[in-house]
Each structure stands twice: as structure tokens, then as C-alpha cells.
Amino acid sequence: MFETLSDRLTSVFSSLRSKGRLSEADIDATCREIRIALLEADVALPVVRTFVAQVKERARGAEVSQALNPAQQVVKIVNDELVEILGGETRRLRYAKNPPTVIMLAGLQGAGKTTLAGKLARWLREQNHTPLLVAADLQRPNAVQQLSVVAERAGVAVFAPEPGNGVGDPIVVARQSIEHAKRQQHDVVIIDTAGRLGIDQELMKQAADIRDAVSPDEVLFVVDAMIGQDAVSTAQAFMEGVGFDGVVLTKLDGDARGGAALSVRHITGRPIMFASTGEKLEDFDAFHPDRMASRILDMGDILTLIEQAQKTFDEQEAAKMAGKLTSGEGFTLEDFLEQMMMVRKMGPIKNLLGMMPGMGQMRDQINQVDDRDLDRVAAIIRSMTPGERQNPKMIDGSRRARIAKGSGVTVTEVNNLVVRFFDAQKMMKRMAGGMGIPGMPGGRK
Ligand code: GDP
């Protein structure tokens, strides 16, 4: 996501790195480059204008700083302005004082609304809410069925019209669903509405009627980030036709340019609240303008990485591993395997690496990272006997041949793994003895 923009901006900054101070001409040239980078990323023109004017004004007025060199100062200004254009503060979901909180989804067909309904439901469930998914899309023959499938995957309940009771009338269904939620003690209701291929009045009217019938606490406009500039005009049409409180960007994984993300908030005045980055239900999170700006400027997204780790591992598991890691004592191939599987649980390695600072330059290598390499290493360790895993020193030539055969790899691969393991063990011992990690069990306090 945002690769083109990210690359362009990073190269603008690197050409500033050698400068002692910024002249007026330097600022002009830099702003010109930033302007091109934004336009190429499909950012809407009015947004580009505002952005560049802001950066220019601040760069001119920038005080000579002891702490930051000129390039860093420009990066900081651009970062601040990106955060601003993306909405500044993270806008959280507003829950109703008297449950259920009603969330209505609107958007074009194919925007990813139904998928999003499932993602949002799963996300809410993880936070101990009890969402109810409502199929108020009665246009598409499969819509109710599709939502039921998504609900099952998300592990939440679904409300679909009873035969003979309001079938065909999404407004009745929406109204009934709220009563149902009250009876069944669902604290959040997510209403999926019908989309069409293009903007049409009937669609808008239906969405507006549902809105009037259920008075949602949040109307979320769901938009596919891959449709580029069209995202802006669609957003405007929905703003006029239905009105909405927040935006959900979908398919950010597929969008190399990402202009929609940078334009929609500025044009509609409504915050981006969530972002979807894949087809799976877990490819979804709240949208944080500051973290997104960091990612665009290749400063990494460590906070998201840490949150993901916290979600995946239980604390005891992590503390136990940290202890072994920092002391190097008793670290066996068994632990190595366990650790690898923990990382694997956090999601595709590519995504994890992408969140580390400075990884932008290594994008090609990262794209070649194959999760199956980890699976091969796991297979090798699994082909070892418990004794071998505890004490890899005993793995001699004939054992290596047996392990290679058992895991379907070459003897060289087994050798490499064993050598890498000894290196890692040595390094951990050195770290534990030399510097340690303050506050970690086994580390220096
Ligand atoms: P709806 O018509 O708005 O309900 O859209 P759907 O939820 O049916 O989604 C349309 C297509 O987009 C489906 O094939 C989804 O799997 C896919 N999709 C939805 N969200 C994402 C996303 O964030 N990334 C990617 N790559 N595909 C997505």
C-alpha cells in the first residue's frame, strides 16, 4: 500500500540530506517534487494544493533547529501534514448510551461491505461486544446467504428476514432487527445495506429510508481504495444522498497509490475510521492517521506490530520466551521451533517486515520472503528426535542424513539450520553477559 508515494517521498528527502540549510529555491524544488508525488499517487487536486501550501509555509518559517537537520525538518513537517490530512486524531467508534449501538454500512456494490460487516463484527467480538449482523441487502439474490457465511466465520449471530414476514422490504427488516437485538441482548447491530454497481437515486433513497427508520449511531461509508479518483466522487454522492459519519477504506492491500485515503477525509470532512487490507476477516483494523503517515514515510509502524504481538501471544508465553532469549540458557531447538511458530501465528512474514522502519528500500527482497521457508525449517526440526532437539550437538553426519530424508530436504539445509541455531545461541549468551535487556527477566536491571 502506498508504495509509489512512499518511494517518491523518500527520494525527495534523501536529496535534501546533504544540505546544511534550506534556501528558498530548495524549498520550492522540494515542494514541487512533493506535489508530483501526491498527484501520481492519485490524490485529488484540491487536497494536493492545500497540502503543498501548508508544507511550504511551514518549511519557510522553520526555525533553525539544533536537534533536526534540514532534511529531518522537512520529513517532520510532511509527517505532521500527512497526519493532519488523514484526520489528525484517531476517531473511535461511538457507542450508544442505551444499547444496542446501531451501525449502518453504505457503499457501492463490490466495495467490500459484506466482508467488512464480518470484519467489524469479529473485531467487536474480540472486544467483548455481542454484535448482530443484519442482512438488509435484499436486492442481490445471494446477499443474505453471503452475510450468513461471513457471520459464521466471524462467530456472530445474523438476523435475516423470516419468510413471509417483511421479506423484500429492507426497512422492515432493519427495524425488526433492532427489536430482535434488544430481546437477545446484542449490544451492537451492524446493518449491511444493498449496493449497486453505480450511483443511482433509488439506491440512495433506500439507504436514506433505512437510516431514517433506525437512526443509526454511526453510518459508515465503505469505499474501495482501488477505484482511485472515483472514490472521491462516490464519497461526495453518498455524502449528499445519505450522509455518513465515518469512512472505511477497503482493499488498501491492492492499492499501490492510495490517493483515495489521502483525499476522502479532506473532501468530505468525515474521518477514516477503519481500514481493510485483505480478504480474510483478520485483515482489518482501526485507522490511525499517525501510524499511517509513519508507514507512508517509511518510518515503520511499530505500534501496530506490538499490538499484533500482544493480541497473538499470551503474556506468560512471551515472558517465558523472553527469559530464555535474554539468558541464552536452556534455549533448545524445541524453543526455536516454538518461537518460529509464534511469529508465524502473527500473520504473513511479509506484512510483519513491512511494518518495520526503513524496510521500504528492501521491498523487493521482502516480497520474496516465503512463509513456506519457515515451514521447511519447522519440518526439519520436527524430523529430529526429542533428544536431538534438546542437544543438537549430538547431530552427527548419519543423523543429519536421516533428518534430511525425513523432512524431504537436502543435508545442506539441515547443516545450515544447525549452524544457524548455534550462532543464535552464542549471540544470546553474549547479549545476556554483555548488555542484557533492562527490565526483562534474565536481563540486567
Ligand atoms: P459488497 O458488494 O460491498 O458487499 O462487497 P463484498 O464484501 O462482497 O466484497 C467484494 C469483493 O472484494 C470480494 O471478493 C471480497 O473478497 C473482496 N474484498 C473485500 N475487502 C477486501 C480487501 O480489503 N482486500 C481485498 N484484496 N479484497 C477485498
Structural domain boundaries enclosing 277: 101-297
**Confidence band, pLDDT 50/70/90 cuts, at residue 363:** low
Evaluate whether residue 393 is within a structural domain: yes
193 ligand 1 Cβ < 6 A: no
Q: Is 115 in the same domain as 252?
A: yes
Confidence at residue 359, expressed as pLDDT on a 0 to 100 scale: 62
Q: Are 8 and 37 in contact (CB under 8 A)?
A: yes
Atom of ligand 1 nearest to the CA of 107: 3
Is 118 a pocket residue for ligand 1 (Cβ < 6 Å)?
no
Mean pLDDT is highest, among 113-122, 201-210, 248-257, 301-310, for 113-122
pLDDT average, residue stretch 427-438:
52
The answer, yes or no, to whether residue 223 has pLDDT greater than 80, is yes
* CB 279 near ligand 1, within 6 Å: yes
Spell out a b/e string for 418-442, using b for 16 or more CB atoms within 10 Å of the CB, else e: beebeeebeebeebbeeeeeeebeb
Domain-terminating residue out of 269, 297, 325: 297
DSSP 258-301: -HHHHHHHHHH---EEEEE-SSSTTSEEE--HHHHHHHHTT---
Is residue 142 lining ligand 1, measured as CB closer than 6 Å?
Answer: no
Same domain, 264 and 171: yes
What is the reported pLDDT for 438?
A: 35
Of 297, 318, 343, the one marking the end of a domain is 297
Based on the fold, state whether residues 60 and 107 are members of the same structural domain: no
- For ligand 1, the distance from its centroid to the CA atom of residue 109, given in whole angstroms, is 9
Gap between the Cα atoms of 343 and 148, Å rounded? 32
Q: 107 alpha carbon to ligand 1 midpoint, in Å? A: 12
Q: Which of 105, 108, 109, 115 to mutate to test the pocket of ligand 1 (most atoms within 8 A of CB)?
A: 115
Residue type, 294: S
Q: What is the domain count for the chain?
A: 3
Written as nine digits, the cell of 444 is 540486567
User: 139 C-alpha vs ligand 1 centroid, how far in Å?
Assistant: 17
Ranges 18-22, 206-210, 323-327, most confident? 206-210
Is there an atom of ligand 1 within 6 Å of 250 CB? yes
Where is the domain boundary, 297, 314, 333? 297
Q: Same structural domain for residues 110 and 81?
A: no
List the single range of 107-121, 143-157, 236-250, 302-316 with lowest mean pLDDT.
Answer: 302-316
Distance between CA atoms of 149 and 163, rounded to whole angstroms? 19
Looking at the structure, tell me whether residues 137 and 187 fall in a common domain.
yes
pTM to 2 decimals?
A: 0.73
Instruction: Supply the residue whose CA is at minimum distance from atom 20 of ligand 1.
Output: 112
Pocket test for ligand 1, best of 279, 281, 283, 284 (most atoms within 8 A of CB): 279
Q: Is 251 in the pocket of ligand 1 (CB under 6 A)?
A: yes
326 and 426 in a single domain? The answer is yes
112 lines ligand 1 (CB under 6 A): yes
The pLDDT of residue 16 is 79
Buried b (16+ CB within 10 A) or exposed e, 148-165: eebbeebebbbbbbeeee
Is 225 near ligand 1, meaning CB less than 6 Å away?
no
What CATH number corresponds to the domain at position 223? 3.40.50.300
Q: Which atom of ligand 1 is nearest to the CA of 254?
A: 26
Would the pLDDT of 170 be above 80?
Answer: yes
What is the pLDDT confidence band of residue 252, given thresholds at 50, 70 and 90? Answer: confident
Residues 388-392: what's their mean pLDDT?
89
Segment 169-182 shows an average pLDDT of 92
Atom of ligand 1 nearest to the CA of 150: 7
> Per-residue pLDDT for 182 more than 80?
yes
- Residues 312, 289 share a domain: no
d(CA 12, CA 276): 29
Say what the ipTM of the complex is. 0.97
**What distance in angstroms lies between residue 283's CA and the mean position of ligand 1's atoms?**
11
| 138, 161 contact by CB (below 8 A) | yes
- Domain membership of residue 27 (yes or no) is yes
Is 236 found in the same domain as 110? yes
Same domain, 282 and 314: no
Give how far the C-alpha of residue 66 lies from the chain's centroid of Cα atoms, to the nearest Å: 35
234 CA to middle of ligand 1, Å? 17
d(CA 224, CA 111): 5
Give the CATH number for residue 346. 1.10.260.30
Cβ of residue 300 lying under 6 Å from some atom of ligand 1: no
Helix (H, G, I), strand (E, B) or coil at 150: helix
Query: Is the same domain home to 207 and 279?
Result: yes
| Average confidence (pLDDT) over 107-120 | 93
- Quick check: is 209 in a domain? yes
Residue range 43-56, pLDDT digits in tens: 899 999 999 999 99
For the cut 80, the answer to whether the pLDDT of residue 64 exceeds it is no
> Are the beta carbons of 10 and 297 closer than 8 angstroms?
yes
Residue 441 lies in a domain: no
Same domain assignment for residues 154 and 283: yes
The alpha carbon of residue 250 and the mean position of all alpha carbons in its chain are separated, in whole angstroms, by 10
Distance between CA atoms of residues 246 and 242, nearest Å: 12
pLDDT of 303 above 70: no
Is any atom of ligand 1 closer than 6 Å to the C-beta of 145? no
List the CATH number of the domain containing 9: 1.20.120.140
Higher-pLDDT residue of 3 and 129 is 129
Q: Are residues 280 and 348 in the same domain?
A: no
List phi, psi (to 5°) of 229. Answer: -60, -30
At 358 the pLDDT is 61
The pLDDT value recorded for residue 117 is 96
Per DSSP, which regions of 32-166 are E strands?
Answer: 101-106, 131-136, 157-159
Any ligand 1 atom below 6 A from CB of 392 = no
Rounded distance from Cα 115 to ligand 1 centre (Å): 6
